[in-house]
Amino acid sequence: MPGLLLQARDRGDAAPARLGFTVTKKVGNAVVRNRTKRRLREAARLVLRERQVVGADLVLIGRDKTRARPFALLLEDLRQALARALPS
C-alpha cells in the first residue's frame, strides 16, 4: 500500500491481535517519526474496531508517504492491507 506496509503472522490462537509500530530514521527526525506512529496507531484503532482480528501479530511500518497521505486514504490502505494479509 502507498501509505504503509503491513506484516502479519498467524499465531494460531484465539487471543486478540497484537500490534507493533515502527518507522525508520529514513522517514525523518524523531518528531516526524513519532507523528507518523501516532497516525498509524489511530488508523489501527479505528480499523480494528470495525474488523475483529484474532490470533495474529501485526506490524505496521510507516513510510515516508504515511505522514503526508490524507487520513481517509490511510484508513483505506490499512483496510486493504488487512484484507490481503488476513482473508476472512
Tell me the three state secondary structure of residue 30: helix
Cell of 35: 507523528
- Predicted confidence (pLDDT) per residue in 49-66, tens digit: 999 899 999 999 999 999
User: For residue 40, what pLDDT is reported?
Assistant: 97
What Å distances lie between residue 11 and 8, 15, 54, CA to CA? 10, 9, 9
**Closest Cα partner for 48 from 34, 35, 66, 60?**
60
With a cut of 90, say whether residue 45 has pLDDT above it: yes
With a cut of 70, say whether residue 88 has pLDDT above it: no
**Contact (Cβ atoms closer than 8 angstroms) between residue 83 and residue 1:** no
Q: Mean of the per-residue pLDDT values for the chain? A: 94
In the numeric block, the cell 525508520 is attached to: 24
